[in-house]
Homo-oligomer: A and B are copies of this chain.
Amino acid sequence: MSPTYSITHEIRNDFGVPFTHRLLFDRAVLNPENPLLHTVFECRTDGAPRSGIIAVVDQGLANAQPDLQAALTKRFSDPSLPELREVLLVPGGEACKNDPTVIDRILASIEKHRIDRRSYVAIFGGGAILDAAGFAASTAHRGVRVVRFASTVLAQLDAAIGVKNGVNRFKKKNFVGTFDVPVAVVCDESMLESLDDRHWRDGFSEAVKIACLQDATFFDAISDAADLIRDRDMDAARPIIRRCAEMHLEHIGSGGDPFERLEARPLDFGHWAAHRLESMSDFGLSHGEAVAIGICLDSAYSHLIGRLDETEFDRIIDVMTRLGLPISHPLLADDRLLTGLEEFREHLGGRLTITLLDEIGRGVDVHDVDLGILRRAITHLDSNASV
């Protein structure tokens, strides 16, 4: 029966794991008359007990939308939705990614309320809390079901779309995390209404980023809409947010490497500096603001090495300015910034790869950075900022 084997023997198995990634855009999704959540949560009909759900809610969002908790309780009293077993309030922003007790609290709640692989963790908040709570949920029972309710512009057009989560350790951003695909990402316009102006604006830097890398026409659209967006015109912002989210989603599925097992990450334009600026500013700069500055810096560098022409560079600076986003920062002159390059290489693994621009709509990966020219780019930005 059993074959005989030589001492040296190899068995190899190639297999694929299928995932489905869903983005749902709407408004007032917690209104009991809105049927959207029935398409998100599985209503079991096989005789199993009603599944459970815990909600992890950004404390800032709960403060800004005081009716949210009552709305949650009311919506999930519907017996064809999961049973709401706890609402956990968690500090939002980078704080929750630096505090290991946040992970412990979420795991303890999952254990206490017997959230299993057929039950849900619903996360309401911005990118940071989606990352931290998503990490906890992705490791409990090796992954319970996650639904992300993105409450910021940045989350709706970028942070919530990805298949990554993570928390900071050893003062390194996202040092610990997993790749995981949520059951659904729900982008509810009503949740954006309570954002302050700064956090309304700061997400649009990620739209500029993806336009710069991939789509000059989309860049034109952002540029056309920039003044209205700054004035919080939702009709102007909606197509930008959705198109950006769509481009992110397409990139994940079509890139062929959604879990980044290979090297390139071409959507990371401007991010090596952004990550450093956030931590050097003790997160006084938001991610979106840091990305705006990082994009301007790598655009200036692209221009100074002769890749990006001056008109295009000026258009990038102009759109950021009209969106109300920063284009430079005194911390750029701090030499600690440059250690960000090595940190970025280490996080990606292997060679340093950063993305520059040949023109708006066309990114290019490079593996070398001339620190002298980089310093000139910083000065160049600084002079643009003081105009």
**Of the residues B48, B118, B177, contact of A139 by C-beta under 8 Å:** B177
Chain B nearest CB, measured from A253 CB (Å): 4
**Cα distance, A111 to B174, chains bound together (Å):** 12
Neighbouring B residues of A261 by C-beta, 8 Å: 117, 143
* CB pair B26 A9 closer than 8 Å: yes
Query: Interface residue count for A (Cβ, 8 Å)?
Result: 88
A26 proximity list for chain B (CB < 8 A):
7-9
- Do residues A11 and B36 form an inter-chain contact, with CB atoms below 8 A? no
In chain A, positions 1-55 with a C-beta closer than 8 Å to chain B are 1-5, 7-27, 36, 44, 46-48, 51
A119 at the interface (CB under 8 A from B): yes
Residue A197 at the chain B interface, CB threshold 8 Å? no
Q: For the complex, what is the distance from the CA of A231 to the CA of B24, rounded to whole Å? A: 62
Given A17-B19, A253-B14, answer yes or no on A114-B346 (Cβ-Cβ < 8 Å).
Answer: yes
- Cβ of A164 within 8 Å of any chain B Cβ, yes or no, is yes
CB of A134, distance to nearest CB on chain B (Å): 12
Spell out A's residues near B (CB within 8 Å): 1-5, 7-27, 36, 44, 46-48, 51, 107-108, 111, 114, 116-119, 135, 138-144, 164, 166, 169-170, 172, 174-179, 189, 217-218, 220-221, 238-240, 242-243, 245-246, 249-250, 252-254, 258-261, 263, 345-351
